[in-house]
Each structure stands twice: as C-alpha cells, then as structure tokens.
Amino acid sequence: MKARAFSYFRAATIDQALDAHARAGDDARFIAGGQSLVPALSLRLQAPRLLIDITHIAEMRGVRREGGFLRIGALTRHCEMLSEPLIAEFAPLLHAAAPFVAHPAIRNRGTFGGSVALADPASEFPAMTLALDAEIEIAGSSGTRRIKADDFFLDLFETALQPGELITAIHIPLFKADQRFAFDELARRRGDYALVGCGMLATCAGDHIDDIRISFFSVGNIPTRVKGAEAALIGSSLDAERIAAAQVALESDLAPPDSDEVPPAMRLHLARVLLGRLLGRLRDGA
C-alpha cells in the first residue's frame, strides 16, 4: 500500500519545526529516521496532511559531555550507538543494546530520539533509558523541559509528550568506574522483536550492590522497571540466594499480557531465566 498524499516541509531549526506543527494543528507528524513511521503511513494507520522532516536540524545532532551527563542528540542514529566512542565509554549499556535493534539497514536510518518518542514496548532503547535513569529533553511551544524516563512512558505507545512537542536530546548520567551493566534478549531470530529483553545498570562496591536499576521490554504495555527485584538485590552481594529472590520478585513486578503465541507463564519464566543469566554476568564481570 501507499501513503495517503501529504505535504512535506523540511525544517532547518527546532523553532521552524515547532511552528509548522502548531500551524498544522493535530494534522502533522515529525519524521526523522522514519523506520516505523513510513510503514505506518504506508498501511494508512496514520494519514497526516503534513510531514515535517526534522532530519536536518543541526541542534538535534551530536553526542557530547555536558555536566554529569552524556547529551545524545535525538537524531543520533542507531548505528552511531555502535560507532561513537563517547557512547561506548559513557553509555556502554546503549552500545551493548544497539546490535539487537532490528538489522543493519534499519539501524543506519533509525534515530534514538524517534525510538524513545514512539515508545514501542518491544524496543530496546526506550527500556534502556529507564535502566540508565535518563532524562529526556523536550522542546515545545512553551519552551524546553526535561523529564525523567521513569515519568515518560505512560501506556501503550503513550508518553508524556504533548501534541506538537519534540524530543531534542536524551541525557544519560555518565557511566562511572564503580558501575557494571548487562544486556541481553531472547528472540526466535536475531533482528526479530524479543520475546523478553532486559538491561541493567548497577553501582557496586566490590561485589556489594549499592544500587541497581533493571528494565525489561516486551513484557507489557510499556518498558518496565522491576523494583521488587531491584530491592531484593540492593545492599548485598550477588549470591545465588539473592539472585533467586530477585527472580521470585518478578512475579509481582511483571504482568505479561495474554497471548496465544507466548502465554504469560512462559514469558515470566523466560524473564526469570534472562534475569538470572544477566545477574550472573554482572557478578562474574563478564
């Protein structure tokens, strides 16, 4: 199928993009990588009258250190998560997750900001913003604001973004020497959506866990932090007993949706297996 006819406007600045959206009312969409939006337009799940191309807005590009954060421009492409040295050094969890995002040609176009804005519950990066305690920088007609990832994902494909607002950057607290991370997902085939995926970031004193944030994807309507499991791990070392306790806690942390293909009990089991595997890696420093 083909997209319904629309008009196209290429914005050079954030202000131009916001202005065009304001004038188009609710009948406009921003497009950057377009790797999810173009199929949605082709299927006519969406049929805006105006497409505002934000790909050429220089202010939304680039990766740099800013205070205690790494500021990743919203237009940073998935492939740059693999090639950008600052990301490998200061946001290694994103670097580890990137190879699991779709396949290379999609990663060459898709953008970090676009992935977070879409908030697909099966996507890797929205969930990782939770594990990383990221802050999302949003521009709108009333100015710029920053919101914690914890407060951003509201429901299926629903976020704290208001109509006409634009994600301009994502701020990730800099990875520190006393931190460890782990990421993996279970999928039938690399590049497919995960049956279950998980990423975690821990602050450690030796083998002692001072703090840990664990985020799952593909197990519900939104990317999900598992606070019960986190609580079971904080303040101890990662022995088999604690790992088992964290696995048990998943039962109340997660509520996998009912589906014929993957029953909730199976998805919960896979989540436990994955959690155990990743905590083992975290402990062994692998």
Judged by the rule CB under 8 A, the positions of this chain that interact with other proteins are 1-10, 20, 22-27, 31, 34-35, 38-39, 41-42, 49-51, 53, 55, 79, 99, 102-106, 108-109, 163-164, 189-192
Q: How far is the CB of 27 from other proteins (least distance, A)?
A: 5
Helices 240-253 and 264-284, packing angle to 10 deg: 150
Of 101 and 167, CB closest to other proteins = 101
CA distance 80 to 177: 23
By the 10 Å C-beta count (0-12 exposed, 13-18 middle, 19+ buried), 179 is classed as: middle
Q: How far is the CB of 4 from other proteins (least distance, A)?
A: 7
Of 83 and 144, CB closest to other proteins = 83
CA-based angle 200:65:141, to the nearest 5? 90
Q: How far is the CB of 235 from other proteins (least distance, A)?
A: 39
Task: Give yes or no for a contact between 233 and 209, defined as CB atoms under 8 angstroms apart.
Answer: yes
Q: Provide the Cα torsion 251, 256, 261, 262; round to 10°.
A: -30
> What is the dihedral sign for C-alpha 278, 275, 126, 179?
negative
Q: How far is the CB of 158 from other proteins (least distance, A)?
A: 16
Q: How far is the CB of 184 from other proteins (least distance, A)?
A: 14
Of 192 and 207, CB closest to other proteins = 192
Q: How far is the CB of 21 from other proteins (least distance, A)?
A: 9
CA distance 127 to 195: 14
Of 45 and 205, CB closest to other proteins = 45
CA distance 38 to 108: 15
